[in-house]
Structure 1
Amino acid sequence: MRAAIYPGSFDPITLGHLDIIKRSARVFDRVIVAIMVNPQKNPLFSVEERKTLIAQSVQHLANVQIDSFPGLLVDYVRRNHVDVIIKGLRAVSDFEAELQMALMNRKLYAGAETFFIPTDAQYSYISSSLVKEIARHGGDVKDLVPDPVWRELRNKYRHMS
């Protein structure tokens, strides 16, 4: 059984992320969408909220599971017997940073293979940071995120400020 992990902060999950998840789920027997817990970041959504939003967004994909982890990705990969790390690429600038990370992961754990999947062109400009910024200022992000995320962003920003 070939397992892959798609790590990220997913704060929040976007249609670009969802594109990578769907495509990965067609190739691998099991795909783990793993939220990386970084105590130095100040996320909009808690880890539990992100897990719920991702689960609602991928409920139609039977071979996708959601998890979270602190610490190094390679430690999680080793502990969970995962063969492949999935990384989505939007632009050449993503590749430079992700290649460096893939090489470091491989140095730390030789069993970690990284597969790069280019995001569909229609999602290449979307990032979680941009989505939050637009939503924070009252802009419409309905075409950038799954419906459960869109509803939660509206609720979060309606109650903020």
Structure 2
Amino acid sequence: MSKNSSGERVGLYPGTFDPVTLGHTDIIRRGAKLVDRLIIGVTTNPSKDPMFTPEERMEMVRAEVARQGLENVEVRGFNALLMKFAEAQGASVIVRGLRAVADFEYEYQMAGMNQQLNANIETVFLMADVSLQPIASRLVKEIALFGGDIGPFVSAEVREQVNARVERIGRRGEL
């Protein structure tokens, strides 16, 4: 992995983190070991219906990073083309987590497109821990909205925030 002009290896782990899951924190912890500085880029995705605002998601991720004691990790929001944001941050590596074959197909296509935009920034794929592979933010929100226990998938603090949000917006489904 190459270093930027200041001599440090900067990685960027982008995502919506709505909400941040144990799978995300696993990738953050492991990605932080690979670079001098890891930036968690919290972004918006027009195809997703977020439960939390970008500011709330950034604060959630910051709290999780602090609980992990990761001093070389910082959280920043962005609403731009990923490669433009990576260039602006001096990143030489994009960190992406993989859960399953379906993730790989999508991520492989994205990595190819990103390489066309900037061949100097590498994409590194980290496999999620086996016990965390089924976790997806979309499914965590769905479980919470239908009154299920999301405790196995998120930290206790995130669980409280998600459950509070669900109480505010209302549960779905009745037997």
TM-score, normalised relative to structure 1: 0.96
Offset of residue 156 of structure 1: 0.6
Residue identity (%): 43
Q: Is structure 2 residue 62 aligned with structure 1 residue 55?
A: yes
Specify the alignment match of 1:156 in structure 2: 165
Runs of 4+ in 1 over 4 A off after TM superposition: none
| Paired residue secondary structure (1:153) | helix
SS in structure 1 opposite 2:169? coil
Unpaired segments ≥5 residues, structure 1: none
1:137 paired to 2:137: no
For 1:95 and 1:16, the matched residues in 2 are separated by: 16
| Of 6, 18, 27, the match for 1:11 | 18
Amino acid of the structure 2 residue aligned with 1:149? V
- For 2:45, the equivalent position in structure 1 comes to 38
TM-score by length of 2: 0.89
Superposed CA RMSD in Å reads: 1.0
Q: Aligned partners of 1:68, 1:140: CA distance in 2, in Å?
A: 29
Which secondary structure does the structure 2 equivalent of 1:56 belong to?
helix
Q: Distance in 1 between matches of 2:21 and 2:162?
A: 12
Q: 1:26 aligns with which of 30, 33, 49?
A: 33
The 3-state SS of whatever aligns with 1:145 is coil
For residue 108 of structure 2, what is the aligned residue in structure 1?
Answer: 99
> What CA distance in whole angstroms lies between the structure 2 residues aligned with 1:37 and 1:132?
16
- One-letter code of the match for 1:133? E
Match of 2:156 in 1: 147
The Cα shift of 1:41 comes to 3.6
SS in 2 for 1:5: strand
Letter in 1 for 2:9: R
Measured in 2, the distance between the counterparts of 1:42 and 1:92 equals: 24
Q: Alignment partner of 1:85: what SS?
A: strand
Extract unaligned runs of 5+ from structure 2: 1-7, 171-175
Paired with 1:30 and 1:147, the residues of 2 have a C-alpha distance of 27
